[in-house]
A and B are shown apart, each in its own frame.
Chain A
Amino acid sequence: MVSPVEFPESAEEARPEATLSGVSSQAVEGRSPWQIAWVRFKRDRWAVAGGIVAGCLVLMALLAKPIERIFSLDPNRFHQDLINPELLRPKGALGGISWDHPLGVEPQFGRDLLARIIEGSWVSLAVAFGATLLSVVLGVVFGVTAGYYGGWVDSVISRLMDIFLAFPLLLFAIALSASLQNGAFGLHGLTLHISVLIFVIGFFSWPYMGRIIRGQTLSLRSREFVDAARSLGARGPYILFRELLPNLVAPIIVYATLLIPTNILFEAGLSFLGVGIQPPQASWGGMLNQAVSLYQADPEFMIVPGLAIFVTVLAFNLLGDGLRDALDPRGL
């Protein structure tokens, strides 16, 4: 007699006798792409470290003025009694490091390096974020427009981007920054310098963003969900903002994060060349510029701003790379 299939009498008996290790025994929950990305990002320790450092830097930049006030750090106060003018270096070892001046003082004026690094951080980050924002906005607007509408619009915008990309950017930036030095658009002094830098850097780096966005839009616009929206009667703006843009957020975030360190370097470069932030306002590039003629006499003076730039750029790069891996494992 063939025995009928036995039905277990309890749930306990219904459990599989073995399970694949690593597979969750709990019920599978649906996860949004953002949750997936977050999990992936958390797994990348370098990216997390970069993110934490970058976060601290942003915090420091935002709170630069209060920090200076609380610890009574004055970035423009001279301590010329602490330096040996003829040997062009601070008195004492390691660039004049002491309890009062944990990173030492600069030669020539004896200003506190820690205070100047903190003061320089907000300038650097303000310029970098401002310029990034400008180039992202321009790049997205032009990129989406070119990619979605195609035809002659695409041709015009694409050639425009080619022209911008072919520009000798550094030379142009130097010329523009130098000629706008004395006041423009009703602005003067530090506000002017920061605005000019944001404009120069942001205005000339949007085509990099624009090209990527245009390519993404091109591939998205022929996807089924866009066709579906169109067949339901959706028109241009709706498709652009409700269908395409949400799908472009990932590349925008990734490339914006990767643009920030580039822009920090660019700002430092222009200040180093003397056309960026003007003294006595502290800026990392300006400090490097000052240090370059004195590096044999006082190498510590070059190391401090150099390290600040290095750490910041590295942190934002790690963060950007991590975000890219997390948001699109296929690689953008």
Chain B
Amino acid sequence: MPGSTKRVRRRTGGRRGKTAAIIAVAATGALVMTSCGSSGGSSTSSGAGPSGSSAKAEFNAGNKGIVNESDHAGGTVTYQLSSTPDSMDPGNTYYAFMWDFSRLYTRALTTFQPAPGQDGLKLVPDLASGLGAPSDGGRTWTYHIRPDLKYSDGTPITTADVKYAVERSNFAPEALSNGPTYFHQYLQDNTPAYQGPYKDKTGGLNSIETPDATTIVFHLNQPFADFDYLVSSPETAPVPQAKDNGSDYVKNVVASGSYMFASYQDGVGASLVKNPNWNPASDPIRKQYPDRINVQFNIAQTTVDNNLIAGNATMDLAGAGMAAATQATVLGNPQQKAHVDDAVSGALAYVAMSTNVAPLDNVHCRQAVEYAIDKQSVQTATGGPIRGEIASTILPTSVSGYTPYNAYPTTDNKGANSPDGLQKAKDQLAQCGHPDGFSTNLSARSDRPNEVAIAQAVQASLKQVGINVNIQQYPSGKYFTDNAGAPAFVHANDLGLMMMAWAPDWPTGYGFLEQILDGNAIKASGNSNLSELNDPNVNQMLAAAISNTDNAARTAAWGDIDKAAMQQAPLVPLLYRLDPLYRPDAATNVFVTPAYGMYDYLLVGTK
């Protein structure tokens, strides 16, 4: 089953986890210009390197440009994390921060250009020498990888390794279950179904062809115009079959990027050093600035924050923002605030409304909720403008196709706490036959204080129009398998409203909208289309757009789908989430990449 629940869990849940892991590197003496010396000085201006202008270290500087731009090499960069990653195996991870970080030691076919601002959403070829060539109306995609690539152990990289990496990560859930399985979903399967490389030792997936060592051809079961985004996942990073031992591969990952593992310890951390077999000439985007990159897990979030402020760590690997306590102290101090970048996380926080739970099965009742919720109150409850921008569309600002508009405007977004919002909400309630309001339940994840806070703000503003909301809390671990993501449970328990946060696996309209709006995506368990919207018009628009290989037309379509869906009021967009990140003085080449909604880890060095 495609991992939509994991998508949510990984991309927004995981990243927002309270526990922080750390990757720590002790700063050591600098070894200046070793193997990358040949590419010399002005590395950042060459190739597809950072293209933004150097920025002064002030509040939000990392959102606009590169802070502390420097080609200084040497030293140790330390990443700390409050939890542990799901895995550092490129084929077994779904955390956005791991997709960002894994690029240091692996190379997928494509990746996002390391650049601040909108440039960071641009796909560039990485292992491949160019973007994919579609044929057969977007059903077949061909890539050529760069010649003479080598792993860290000196053996050559071939497209057979890329094929193997896709097979192990998508077809072997018994060993590697963490990553998404889009390739399983969109590639033509064998007959009988392919069982993955661990169970089926004889053959492989027939729909991936490798006619020679540098060519790879993917045959899809439907036109899929976003395929270049799909192959930017670390799941296409080459894995040598001879070195693969399933779930234990994480202990001896063979590197294709500019760094390789010197050590790895489950639950403790890892240490990376320069990969001597990485050839800068083959790689326009990577550099080898620090001598060593240390990663430390399981360090309390406030400790991570304090280490960043004190200069004892370089980056918070999770990239999900500082703890509430740190936020308060840092923002109250102008000198520390200058080190903060309020990153667009790419996630939308919203309330899904079930189209199958009375009385919200009536569109007017749903529209009453749209008008009644005081989004300003929601924003204040969750930490103010620094934690989120008030939303009116389903697509967040960082996703291609975002078109600003507001289908349910109220004065200052204050919902029922503004006279016009109150009036409009009451009008809709009258049309839906409940002029005095009604009662319903709102589900939220008990282990997410922010979500519970938002739920209380929603509850308070709906009470203004007579809608009485009971908050039901469920643990996030089973939220999608057993509760909000299980339609039978939703109907049985009258969950008319459900708290939700959603971030795309890749920043296009399809990556964002399909799982939460498409009627075909509704599942008995692990459902992400919480409102169970099954509108023929929306379904058809989604299918038409993803098979359209005309980029501009496809991008425009996402905005149209957003508007068409909002007519049905399946959800109330609340906030485009923002994560305040701390940028230490010692960190160089720091900028936020909108592709992952956090700092881009590819070029981070230390002074």
Contact = CB atoms under 8 A, between A and B. Distances in A.
A117 B554 CA distance: 56
A86 B473 contact: no
B453 interface: yes
Contacts of B382: 108
B452 A86 contact: no
A127 B271 CA distance: 53
Interface in B314-331: 323-329, 331
Given A85-B384, A86-B383, A108-B381, A182 B493 contact: yes
Interface string A235-258: 000000000000000000000000
B446 interface: yes
A84 B384 CA distance: 8
A58 interface: no
A278 interface: yes
Contacts of A274: 446-447, 473
B309 interface: no
Contacts of B26: none
Interface string B482-505: 000000000001000000000000
A78 B325 contact: no
B449 interface: yes
Contact of B324 (A78, A88, A109, A183): A88
Contacts of B446: 274
Contacts of B110: none
Contacts of A294: 324-325, 328
A89 B449 CA distance: 16
A109 B329 contact: no
Contacts of B381: 80, 85, 108-109
Given A80-B377, A293-B325, A297-B325, A109 B457 contact: yes
A208 to B, nearest CB: 30
Given A76-B460, A87-B331, A278 B473 contact: yes
Contact of A109 (B323, B325, B332, B460): B460
Interface string B365-398: 0000000000011011111111000000000000
A297 B473 contact: no
Contact of A189 (B326, B384, B470): B470
Given A108-B453, A182-B493, A274-B446, A85 B473 contact: no
Given A78-B377, A181-B472, A280 B460 contact: yes
A86 B327 CA distance: 7
B470 A188 contact: yes
A98 interface: no
Contacts of A35: none
A279 interface: yes
B354 interface: no
B471 interface: yes
A88 B327 contact: yes
A296 interface: yes
A76 B461 CA distance: 11
B460 A293 contact: no
A88 B331 CA distance: 10
B459 interface: yes
Nearest to B376: A80
A203 interface: no
Interface string A272-303: 00100011100000000010011111100000
Contacts of B460: 76, 78, 109, 280
Contact of B328 (A89, A188, A189): A89
Nearest to A273: B446
B456 interface: yes
A186 B493 CA distance: 13
A88 B449 CA distance: 13
A178 B380 CA distance: 29
A295 B329 CA distance: 11
B328 A85 contact: no
A296 B380 CA distance: 18
A196 interface: no
Contacts of A88: 324, 327-328, 383
A290 B453 CA distance: 9
B328 A296 contact: yes
A183 B493 CA distance: 9
A83 B470 CA distance: 25
A145 B328 CA distance: 59
Interface of A: 76, 78, 80, 83-89, 108-109, 178, 181-183, 188-189, 274, 278-280, 290, 293-298
Return the 5 tightest CB-CB contacts between A and B, nearest first.
A85-B384, A297-B328, A296-B325, A86-B384, A85-B380
Given A86-B386, A278-B472, A279-B456, 6 more contacts: A87-B328, A108-B382, A108-B453, A178-B475, A297-B327, A297-B328
27 contacts: A78-B460, A85-B380, A85-B385, A86-B327, A86-B328, A86-B331, A86-B383, A86-B385, A86-B386, A88-B324, A88-B327, A88-B383, A89-B328, A108-B380, A108-B382, A109-B453, A109-B456, A109-B460, A182-B472, A274-B473, A278-B471, A279-B455, A280-B459, A290-B449, A293-B324, A297-B324, A297-B328
